[in-house]
Amino acid sequence: MPREAAKLGAMQAWRGAILWFDPHTDEPHVHFEPDSWLVTAADADGVQRVVAVGPADALRAAYPDAAVTDCRGCLIAPGFIDLHIHYPQTDVIGSPADGLLPWLERYTFPHEARFADADHAAEVARFFVDELLRHGVTTALAFATSHPVSVDALLIEAGARGLRCIAGKVLQDRHSPDGVRDETERSLADTEALIARWHGRGRLGYAITPRFAPSCSDAQMRGAGELAGRYPDVWVQSHVAENVDEVRWVRELYPHDRSYLAVYERFGLLRPRAVYAHGIYLDDADRALLAQTGAAIAVSPTSNLFLGSGFFDYAAARAGSVRHGLASDVGGGMSFNPFVTMRAAYTVSRATVRGDGQPKVGLSLSAVDLWWQHTAGAARALGLDGVIGSLAPGSEADFVVLDAQAIPLLARRTAQAASLAEWLFAWVMLADERVVRQVIVAGTPVQTHHFTDASGALHVGSVS
């Protein structure tokens, strides 16, 4: 028994096949046991954490009093982390457009204008949080809209469910239509007030959220950078280098900056806990800047394919030690589902042209790598490694129970896998939300929409 056991609350144990990753590494170090226990308990502050994880026989002896939930036949894994998502765009998902800029103008801005109304924001927030949980997503870094009430609506809803959620009021004081455009001084005062109201409250956090460089005046960017300096543990989220037309526009607006990313650097917006969506049109100097400053990229492959934006260059990002993780970017992305995102990331990693059309060598990312990018890798990009995204002892108890039997083809294919790598690859290629039996947020099951008692052995072939 660990020395601190006396201080812990009642032990719970979850039994099944368990997958997790070391929390503090820049590449995936995977752990997998076909018959394992995950032991959780509340710490002295009442936070439910992982106490131990390991082979069932050894932990049964070490924790004889734990109440056991039998999930044999299922896979237990860390809850997924979505590194970039727009909750107000829930209702524009699947809207066709020629590209990013027309899509923003035609669908996104008119919908976002409705979030000045607190009741509308609350209704969408409820549906949005349900969708996250239905898909096994237990942490989201989310854009709200420019209206402060939209942040309140989301964080009230996430807080009520115990969900870890980081959100921010969008800053956009220019090149934005009436209804979403904000006013410079007021927008910065609102941001600071929201930081005071929400950041660090329970599992909630705040992100300073310039929409993207074209939508913010110099004064607003400067103000955002000052806040980012004054509140170093508050997150920063924005977009960078998503689309060729957008990159061209930034070059016109900021002719003296070396690159799109350099604009954010000039205003003090590149630092640890800064997460930029997309990062397709970057060069080596940009990647060096990201590595140096500790800012991260939220890779958003379904969105990039849907809007025809381009392909994230995994090989270059890896060579440049750029921190990155996976994101849905709903509603530019067309699915909340982490498996759909992982599949799209695999497809993008195979691409043999760069975003700018030049030839490159495609990678072939493993399932372990893709899964890591949506859990422990994403946690590291957020500066929350060791807190979420892993089942290492000490982690907060956010995890999912997944059942391959929910999908006949997945059950059949995984039963024939010859190795752990092949077994996980079948999951990544074939799973969807039907496999999500339970979602455990801070040690408590929150989602039981199609849970039935687990039974039967897990068919994993010759996993060693």
CA 305 to CA 124: how far, in whole Å?
Answer: 25
Q: Is 82 in the site for Zn ion (CB under 5 A)?
A: no
Any idea how long the chain is? 464
Of 152 and 329, nearer to Zn ion (C-beta) is 329
Q: Does 329 bind Zn ion (CB under 5 A)?
A: yes
The least CB distance from residue 99 to Zn ion, in Å, is 14
DSSP string, 434-457: GGEEEEEETTEEEE-TT-----S-
401 binds Zn ion (CB under 5 A): no
**Interface of this chain with Zn ion, residues 269 to 328, rule: CB under 5 A:** 277
Is the separation of the CB atoms in 326 and 370 below 8 Å? Answer: yes
Structure tokens at 396: 């907060």
- Two structure tokens written together for 74: 């299922």
Look-up of token digits 């969105």: 303
Pairing between β-strand 80-86 and β-strand 436-441 as defined by DSSP bridges: unpaired
Mark 122-161 with x for binding to Zn ion (rule: CB under 5 A) and - for no binding: ----------------------------------------
CB of 326 to Zn ion, least distance (A): 13
In the bound complex, what is the minimum distance in angstroms from residue 129's beta carbon to Zn ion?
Answer: 18
Size of the residue set binding Zn ion (CB under 5 A)? 2
Least Å distance, CB 341 to Zn ion, is: 13
Of the pair 20, 87, the CB lying nearest Zn ion is at 87
In the bound state with Zn ion, the residue whose beta carbon lies nearer, of 313 and 329, is: 329
Rounded to the nearest whole angstrom, what is the least distance from the CB of residue 19 to Zn ion in the complex?
Answer: 29
Q: How far is the CB of 243 from Zn ion (least distance, A)?
A: 11
CB within 8 A of 367, min separation 6: which ones? Answer: 342, 421, 424, 425, 427, 428
Residue whose CB is less far from Zn ion, 141 or 228: 141
CA of 166: how far to CAs of 29, 122, 128, 140, in Å? Answer: 26, 16, 14, 6
Peptide bond into 331 cis (omega under 30): yes
Measured from the CB atom, the residue of 38 and 141 that comes closer to Zn ion is 141
Which residues 370-399 are close enough to bind Zn ion by CB under 5 A? none
Identity of the residue, 277 or 351, whose beta carbon is nearer to Zn ion in the bound complex? 277
Q: Which is nearer to Zn ion, 303 or 390 (CB)?
A: 303
- For residues 134 and 447, the answer to whether their CB atoms sit within 8 Å is yes
What is the closest distance, in whole angstroms, from the C-beta atom of residue 324 to Zn ion in the complex?
15
Smallest distance from Zn ion to CB 240, Å: 11
* Rounded Cα distance, 77 and 171, in Å: 36
Bridge partners for 75 per DSSP: 17, 402
Q: Which is nearer to Zn ion, 211 or 271 (CB)?
A: 211
Binding site for Zn ion (CB under 5 A): 277, 329
